[in-house]
């Protein structure tokens, strides 16, 4: 039986090998990717966040936990492939300028790919101009922006304005998300959609491309 408590603890200690082994065992037991994420990995990352906030741990410990999280999450990717009808559409995704957090963005990407969408990943610290250039090059239908810092989420408004200025605002949907982002913020900056988690982001993207 999968021991989610042990998975969470291994993640907190940054034991990537143990995390990947436990994730694989859980997969082999037939547990869904969503359950593995929600019961094992996300709680571990939340505890890391609390300890980080309280100065009980520092950046290196957070980084090794983040690495373990990313490695475990990568194993879940094949499970996220939706067997249903494949959506057609292109998404340009990135974490906004000044922000280096990529775990949530990577999950959104995986879930969108699982739904059949083509995802162009610009990585982290992405400027408004980079989103616009990538949209022009790829003919993207959707721009997906992630932010984890209250100081960087304001960069999302710059992305919306950059698409306005480039005359492309009508040809793309701009989706926003990340822990500090809210529906109210989305409305204020004139983005098209806010979703709270990766699965809802993928569903919304499919709805836009349908």
Q: Is 103 in the site for ligand B1M (CB under 6 A)?
A: yes
User: What is the C-alpha separation between 37 and 114, in angstroms, rounded?
Assistant: 15
**104-163 residues near ligand B1M, rule: CB under 6 A:** 104-105, 107-108, 144-146, 148-151
CB of 198 to ligand B1M, least distance (A): 4
Indicate whether 101 belongs to the interface with ligand B1M (CB under 6 A): yes
Residues 89 and 209: beta-carbon distance below 8 Å: yes
Q: Minimum CB separation from ligand B1M for residue 53, in Å? A: 3
Q: What is the largest CA-CA distance in the chain?
A: 55
Interacting residue with ligand B1M among 1, 59, 167, 184 (CB under 6 A): 59
- Select 1 or 59, whichever has its Cβ closest to ligand B1M: 59
Kindly state the smallest distance separating residue 201's Cβ from ligand B1M, in Å: 4
CA distance 135 to 68: 32
Of the candidate residues 19, 44, 96, 102, the single one contacting ligand B1M (CB under 6 A): 102
* Residue 55 binding ligand B1M, by CB under 6 A: no
| Two tokens, residue 107 | 């999950």
Q: Contact with ligand B1M (CB under 6 A): which of 100, 129, 164, 188? A: 100
CB environment 88-123: b (16+ within 10 A), e (fewer): ebbbbbbbbbebebbbbbbbbbbbbbbbbbbbbbbe
- Taking residues 180 to 199 in sequence order and writing x for each that binds ligand B1M by CB under 6 A, - otherwise, the string is x--------------x-xx-
Among 129, 50, 67, CA closest to 92: 129
Q: Are the CB atoms for 63 and 100 separated by under 8 Å?
A: no
Q: Give the count of residues interacting with ligand B1M (CB under 6 A).
A: 37
In degrees to the nearest 10, what's the CA dihedral of 196, 26, 65, 81? -50
Q: Is 26 in the site for ligand B1M (CB under 6 A)?
A: no
Half-sphere exposure (CA, 13 Å, Cβ side) for 125?
2
Q: Does 96 bind ligand B1M (CB under 6 A)?
A: no
Q: Using an 8 Å Cβ cutoff, are 162 and 127 in contact?
A: no
Q: Which parts of this chain interact with ligand B1M (CB under 6 A)? A: 45-46, 48-49, 52-53, 59, 62-63, 66, 98-105, 107-108, 144-146, 148-151, 175-180, 195, 197-198, 201
């Amino acid at each position: 039986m999968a021991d989610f408590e042990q998975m969470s603890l291994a993640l907190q200690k940054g034991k990537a090998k143990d995390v990947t082994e436990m994730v694989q065992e859980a997969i082999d037991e037939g547990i869904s990717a969503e359950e593995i994420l929600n019961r094992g990995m996300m709680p571990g990352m939340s505890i890391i966040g609390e300890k980080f906030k309280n100065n009980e741990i520092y950046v290196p410990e957070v980084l090794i936990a983040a690495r373990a999280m990313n490695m475990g999450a990568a194993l879940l990717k094949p499970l996220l492939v939706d067997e249903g009808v494949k959506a057609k559409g292109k998404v340009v995704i990135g974490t906004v300028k000044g922000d280096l957090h990529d775990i949530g963005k990577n999950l959104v990407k995986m879930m969108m790919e699982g739904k059949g969408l083509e995802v162009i990943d610009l990585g982290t610290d992405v400027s408004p101009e980079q989103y616009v250039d990538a949209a022009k090059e790829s003919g993207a239908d959707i721009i997906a922006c992630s932010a984890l810092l209250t100081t960087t989420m304001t960069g999302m408004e710059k992305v919306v304005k950059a698409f306005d200025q480039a005359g492309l605002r009508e040809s793309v949907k701009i989706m926003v998300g990340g822990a500090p982002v809210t529906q109210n913020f989305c409305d204020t900056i004139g983005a098209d959609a806010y979703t709270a988690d990766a699965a809802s982001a993928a569903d919304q993207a499919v709805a836009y491309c349908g």
